[in-house]
Amino acid sequence: MLQNINWKDYIIADPKILVGKPVIKGTRISIEFLLSLFSKGWTERQIMEEYRSITMESLEIVKSLYTKKIAKIKKLINEN
């Protein structure tokens, strides 16, 4: 399902919003903030209940991008 979703439909970085931090489109909720919630053990359901403008698709995109970034970092570490 995520293969057909364009992350640019869900995430933007605008210098006028949170000093250009990547945020969920249409909100002032940063990707960094969402990742911190996941790291604290929050579930998708808890986030969506607390922040009604967040959708499951946007959370899936955030998690997918994070997973890809971690994979790239692991690859770089293993190459050295």
List b or e across 38-59, with b for residues whose CB sees 16 or more CB atoms inside 10 angstroms.
Answer: eeeeeebeebeeebeebeeebb
Per-residue pLDDT of the chain (80 residues; tens, 9 = 90+): 456 778 889 999 999 999 999 999 999 999 999 999 999 999 999 999 999 999 999 999 998 888 888 888 888 888 76
Question: Closest Cα partner for 35 from 52, 17, 49, 21?
Answer: 21
Task: State how many domains the chain has.
Answer: 1
Residue 66 pLDDT = 85
CATH number for the domain including 20?
1.10.10.10
Residue 36 pLDDT = 93
Range of the domain at 24: 2-79
Residue 3 pLDDT = 61
Q: Specify the pTM.
A: 0.81
